[in-house]
Amino acid sequence: MASIDYIRSVTRNILDKDGNGWIGDNKFNNIITYVQDEVFNDIYALYTQARGKRLRRLEYKGFVYSGVRQIEDDLRPLYRTGVSLSQISNNTFSTPSDLRYLEGVNYDSKDVEILKQNDSINNLLTSRAAPTTTYPAATVSNGVITMYPTSIATDVTVSYYKNPRGINANGNPVDQSPTWAYDTVSNKSIYNASNSIQLELPESTYNKIIVRLVSLYGVNIREYEVVRYANNEEMKNQNNL
């Protein structure tokens, strides 16, 4: 099973081969959270585009997919559904602290229509088509969900994609940044798996993360080239056994 050590090893291999040289383990740890966020944003943008068109094959910023299902698989670890909201007051609720992209709001197991923040809201709320408890609606602004009709004060849940963070050695999600932990032995950094924090994005995204990471240092490659570098790294490790 691949880990953050795979990302670090292949990234170092690519940068060394390109002549840039290794950026250093502390720099790698400082930047990997940013790169995970950027790749997540790219995949979600592609997902938004793809689910409307249901394209069979997609290419986007160097990421190649065979279809929407693979994109959904990549995003699945970050998907949360049926999450109850904390009430602020009356018909207002706070969104989850780790929310990145809101997918839907439900009230008493009913889908809630999300209204746009504009002048037509007041007209809608006073019209014959005003929201009811059977056909509820809501506005979302600055981390606050306001439910309509205003009598709705409980049983509000959301589905969303969370901010990507880390996974500890026990395989549990933690609110920590991904970290390649190491011990220093004879002036060399030796990977410490027990103390490392893995990425929350799945292994299937690792090559995309490597592509994005090395691009920050002027190296432009494709995912299939990452596989070649990874194979070279594996062969080198086997020769050192």
pLDDT, tens only, 167-218: 999 999 999 999 999 999 999 999 999 999 999 999 999 999 999 999 999 9
| Phi (first) and psi of residue 70, to 5 degrees | -65, -40
Looking up tokens 């009709």 gives 149
Amino acid at 40: F
The span from the CA of 192 to the CA of 149, in Å, is: 54
> Residue 241 carries which DSSP code?
-
pLDDT-based confidence at 64, cuts 50/70/90? low
The span from the CA of 144 to the CA of 88, in Å, is: 8
Please calculate the CA angle 36-38-40 and round it to the nearest 5 degrees.
70
pLDDT of residue 62: 54
pLDDT of residue 53: 65
Q: Are strands 182-185 and 144-148 parallel, antiparallel or unpaired?
A: unpaired
Q: Is the distance from CB of 164 to CB of 175 less than 8 angstroms?
A: no
Distance between first and last Cα of the chain: 19
Rounded to the nearest angstrom, the gap between the alpha carbon of residue 134 and the centroid of all alpha carbons in its chain is 33
In DSSP terms, which residues pair with 191 in a beta bridge?
182
Q: Is the distance from CB of 162 to CB of 96 less than 8 angstroms?
A: yes
Q: Is the distance from CB of 138 to CB of 111 less than 8 angstroms?
A: no
pLDDT of residue 156: 98
Other Cβ atoms closer than 10 A to 218: 9
Mean pLDDT on 19-35: 94
Rounded to the nearest angstrom, the gap between the alpha carbon of residue 122 and the centroid of all alpha carbons in its chain is 35
- The more confidently predicted of residues 51 and 185 is 185
pLDDT of residue 67: 67
Looking up tokens 């929201």 gives 131
Mean pLDDT on 115-124: 71
pLDDT of residue 241: 43
Q: Which DSSP string do the residues of 8-64 spell out, in sequence order? A: HHHHHHHHHHHTS----HHHHHHHHHHHHHHHHHHHHHHHHHHHHHT-SSEEETTEE
- Look at residues 79, 85, 84 and name the one whose alpha carbon lies nearest to residue 143: 85
The span from the CA of 141 to the CA of 106, in Å, is: 17
